[in-house]
Structure 1
């Protein structure tokens, strides 16, 4: 019996078991009648959206984390605190809000074809806005939250939006964007909770800064309120001959100014239709966790593929992904669609769990313990009801793929495609449809030819059913990406290992895509780092299986003359960091490690071209093996360093351990690491901060939020101080502190006084009570009445996340639930 056949039978049994025993899973099964209605030819995007909303009206559609507002007794300011459960709105409620918003905007004269820029993290509010734009025929322009203001300015200038919608967290950047250039008629703020003082202040500041402009500032709640009072109007639909523009997906701008790939209504509509011809094929039940940005096709495909399938799309609670692991555990998705960097984070988390158990296992059967822990991780980390797993957006290393599949006990599907061409490959196999035809073209300057042995190699050119029509307002750029026969030039070098079987090899235009999906332009970086006073020549190297770069550096003659290689290497790394800061480069654009080469690149050794440019193919051929070994050494070194760190944590000062942990996670030397260094200045990002936070939790049993780690006001000393304060119990009790980190069930007996009152107070309590009540002959009452919030959703959880039913008052009503996140009217 083949492995695939065995896995298919296991999957069939898994689906049958979930259908029989998990009510939420069974209820998410697609309705054949709705699927048939969505598949009708000729439906326009507004009709597709309405068909899904009407067809699945009573099902839960969108979910978000439950939160409560808490007032700080010292400052009097109110903040929002997440609770460990989700709440949902139904398709009907979603349709009511989308309809109200569409009516309000049509009343405001926002017409079909008008552009609307949206800046924010994927959320319920974001989805409502995006769908309302689709209903009225406006053009959505999602902006990347990680992009520099200068990049966003060029997009806003080019698209001339009638309106900008922004999350409250992105509001300061949006105001800066408006004041520095193109001013829209309206600014709509979403994900806004006026009860939260920080958010209220941000909106007040925005209104004050824009007071002298013509821009009208409204909250999404205000717009929805207006829309609910307006009469319903027919959905405007384009005539049969038209296929209007619906969406602009802007590239990262790695090769120049960002370019807006145009998506027509027909292409956006395909995201709602689950089939073998798009990214996410048919499935038994779609329950997904959404955190990929809406400025990325993958993020949109997951969201709208879920809704078109009658499933429930839950949203991660924090844009920095600090709650990702908790969200994943609560949602228990049926589909796991992640980029390699996320898979790496999850696999590393499972390995740490194995290491912890093995460290305390003594002479027990290590293989059996590992198998036991991995099985636990499938339930506690991944939720235990996934039936499909996929990776995409960047290549996955064989090592990571093997590790993830051992965690999943399931095949990890690898997808390949592009913003411009759509889905092309699954597991290296050309998908027909949507691919119509492909060909490989020789790339002589890089040494790739159709005559190569054992397999033909060349640049992949495509024709697909999902091909974009071009870049917005860029006909000259559009012309450069199609050949004379109308094939799209992907820029990817592939090997044809069999009929319709392709394997990725390289990039033609020297633009690399890292494991987290970020593009880097090698030539730009090499030019920037050549400004270092220690660098004579530099070759930047990357492997899409890793989230960071390496380099080969030829130092200047002066640098070589005055320093040994061992001394020079850290000096060069420090110099590259300084250059990066001056050039405003991103942390992932700075090489983590390098090889110091004393022999310059030259014509004679073949490492320069005839016009004295770097001969990249020759450099890769010459240094590739050593650089790949450097990657392997860094991975192994990190594992060894983590082991040493865990052994020494009990006897080391907190700051020293924090510094060593940062150095281990980010691959920087810890000998001269300044205590006032910031995590992001050392090359960290939100995902590495998530890994760093997990490590700190393992070392100190303290949760350090990603926001604390990446905050620009927090250096390593501040992070260490935070841990010290948490150790001293300065915060109020949490679910984890009371019931345990991996609690699957909670009990009233967990609520002991020592979880809420410090030891010294408890010890003194009998004496104080006896003194106060001496002669009264009454026993001391040791009971403690918990705050209402602590008797809320935490107590609702049994073997799954709490279930919340709708209530018009907005107050929490808790019921016990078993199968997963469930329903609450978010009105």
Structure 2
């Protein structure tokens, strides 16, 4: 059904809760499936998730969103869980792994929530990765089920044929403009038959339809004292082959206890565009649901429609990444060039239009993470929004660590800075001590799946997690990001240099060339910000 995007129809906001308050409210004795069920059952007919409506003939996105209510989402989840639970041939239950290949969507969320219901372990795969990159992950995680979106079917078939454990392939997100489910299944079956595979193929829609007539399955409840594996997030860190970060039920449950930032005086309306193979993407979806909010999925995984989606949704809160901030700045500069002959304060006019039209006009709070953001770019975004932009730091392995440079206690219980002599960082540095951040936290992962050797490497002799990131301690429990340690090259003359520094030099030279074409800046008091693109930590995994 289509829902008007009107703030007056959205749910009442939850009380403002920071990370410490959210963690303090976690009841370790309450099963995660029970928490999820309580959340979905409590919001009834409120719109939960939305997707762009599409032209039935072409599949092109239309200028509106269709939504699904919490009641219908819960019905879909229970039906799918029931189908898995009652499957006589290939049941999916506690501890079984299911790999998912596709971009974030309502179908993807349904699969994830059904896993919580039955105790299965989701293994999200990077949607744009090649089969050669994904085969080792599938081989190590040993899933019995692979779920794939229609647009990733060929890659999914490559993975199924190469796997010794996959017994069922589920096709989802087969909407208008994609190959029809029957044609897709027929082509897939032909290829599997030719390869001598006996894998069972279904569509997610068929499984849900069959499950609706089955008895509701029980909510998964671990045995007393057990903290079972509930999620595998594969991350390569800064270097090396992907390794599976193990999230137990206790860790995954922190997403269901209402962490938020800033004021909670407005309804939670958001645009969901981060991939589910990243922790930040999963927490964005779960965070929206637990607040009784409405999350609208962007129409395209390549983000080509993102700002169009934002303008249609008119979100009240905005989760940003540096690339999104860069895109905003690029649009701003383009508008300044296009309207350079206009009279008056063009810069102020463009910033106002960005806020009121480009971003929908009702964003009340915003957060940026996943990688460092330059001070200049952060100031530009704040000048557009008209309020403070929250910044976060964390990693796949450690969860949330900093908010606006402040150490979050809990979950962090202790930290220290360790000298990095090869890069010239020491605890004796002035005006502030500098070094690699090592920490202890209640949200540290248990380790890497089936990789005890790599698990041992990320901790020091005292049990502190090595972040691989250099910080300056500007005050008690205040840390400012400086550099990376894990992307360091040793040159032939023995000098150490970080790859990120080389990137910065190269990108700045490109930025200088670009700025020669336009000497305008977003602020008369500051030069155009230099925005190096680099892989570095944030709230999402590296």
Name the Cα RMSD after superposition.
2.6
TM-score by length of 1: 0.58
1:139 aligns with 2:151: no
1:352 aligns with 2:334: yes
Partners in 2 of 1:253 and 1:447 — Cα distance?
23
Q: Which of 351, 363, 379 pairs up with 2:356?
A: 379
Q: Which of 496, 500, 514 pairs up with 1:638?
A: 514
Partners in 2 of 1:473 and 1:158 — Cα distance?
8
Q: Which residue pairs with 2:401 in the alignment?
A: 424
Q: Which of 18, 23, 44 pairs up with 2:8?
A: 23
Q: How does 1:135-174 map to 2 (within 5 A)?
A: 135-174=117-156
Question: Aligned pair in 2 of structure 1 residues 416, 280: CA closer, same or farther (>3 Å)?
Answer: farther
Partners in 2 of 1:194 and 1:80 — Cα distance?
4
Q: Which residue pairs with 2:300 in the alignment?
A: 318
Partners in 1 of 2:504 and 2:178 — Cα distance?
49
Question: Aligned pair in 2 of structure 1 residues 101, 398: CA closer, same or farther (>3 Å)?
Answer: same
Give the CA deviation at 1:449.
1.6
- 3-state SS in 1 of match to 2:443: coil
* Matched-pair contact (CA < 8 Å) for 1:274–1:282: no
Instruction: Give the number of the structure whose residues are more often strand, by fraction.
Output: 2
Q: Which residue pairs with 2:43 in the alignment?
A: 56
Q: Which residue pairs with 2:78 in the alignment?
A: 99
- Give CA deviations for 1:206-261 in whole Å, capped at 9, x if unaligned: 12111231100100011111101101232121133111110001003652221000
Give the CA deviation at 1:405.
1.1
Partners in 2 of 1:486 and 1:283 — Cα distance?
40
* Matched-pair contact (CA < 8 Å) for 1:390–1:415: yes
Partners in 1 of 2:469 and 2:428 — Cα distance?
18
* Matched-pair contact (CA < 8 Å) for 2:15–2:264: no
* Matched-pair contact (CA < 8 Å) for 2:116–2:220: no
Q: Which residue pairs with 2:523 in the alignment?
A: none
Question: Aligned pair in 2 of structure 1 residues 437, 254: CA closer, same or farther (>3 Å)?
Answer: closer
Give the CA deviation at 1:45.
1.1
Partners in 2 of 1:22 and 1:283 — Cα distance?
12
* Matched-pair contact (CA < 8 Å) for 2:381–2:389: yes
* Matched-pair contact (CA < 8 Å) for 2:269–2:294: yes
Partners in 2 of 1:283 and 1:492 — Cα distance?
35
Partners in 2 of 1:329 and 1:200 — Cα distance?
35
Q: How does 1:209-224 map to 2 (within 5 A)?
A: 209-211=191-193, 212-224=196-208
Q: Which of 364, 374, 379 pairs up with 1:402?
A: 379
Q: Which residue pairs with 2:67 in the alignment?
A: 88
Give the CA deviation at 1:151.
2.1
Give the CA deviation at 1:642.
7.2
Partners in 1 of 2:449 and 2:431 — Cα distance?
41
Partners in 2 of 1:627 and 1:191 — Cα distance?
37
Q: Which residue pairs with 1:265 in the alignment?
A: 249
Instruction: Give the number of the structure whose residues are more often helix, by fraction.
Output: 1
* 5+ long unaligned stretches in structure 1: 1-20, 71-78, 511-521, 524-538, 540-600, 603-607, 644-682, 684-827
Partners in 2 of 1:280 and 1:301 — Cα distance?
17
Partners in 2 of 1:120 and 1:437 — Cα distance?
38
- Give CA deviations for 1:666-691 in whole Å, capped at 9, x if unaligned: xxxxxxxxxxxxxxxxx9xxxxxxxx
* Matched-pair contact (CA < 8 Å) for 2:310–2:358: yes
Give the CA deviation at 1:399.
1.8
Q: Which residue pairs with 2:436 in the alignment?
A: 459
* Matched-pair contact (CA < 8 Å) for 2:130–2:155: no
How many residues in Structure 1 have an aligned counterpart in Structure 2? Answer: 505
Partners in 2 of 1:97 and 1:416 — Cα distance?
35
Give the CA deviation at 1:638.
1.9
- Give CA deviations for 1:256-308 in whole Å, capped at 9, x if unaligned: 221000001111111121236xx899664211111101111110111100100
* Matched-pair contact (CA < 8 Å) for 1:156–1:182: no
TM-score by length of 2: 0.87
Higher Rg of the two aligned structures: 1
Greater RCO, CA 8 A, separation 6+: 2
Q: Which residue pairs with 2:525 in the alignment?
A: none
Give the CA deviation at 1:52.
0.4
Q: Which residue pairs with 1:328 in the alignment?
A: 310
* Matched-pair contact (CA < 8 Å) for 1:429–1:500: yes
* Matched-pair contact (CA < 8 Å) for 1:267–1:466: yes
Q: Which residue pairs with 1:495 in the alignment?
A: 472
Give the CA deviation at 1:203.
3.4
Question: Aligned pair in 2 of structure 1 residues 171, 629: CA closer, same or farther (>3 Å)?
Answer: closer
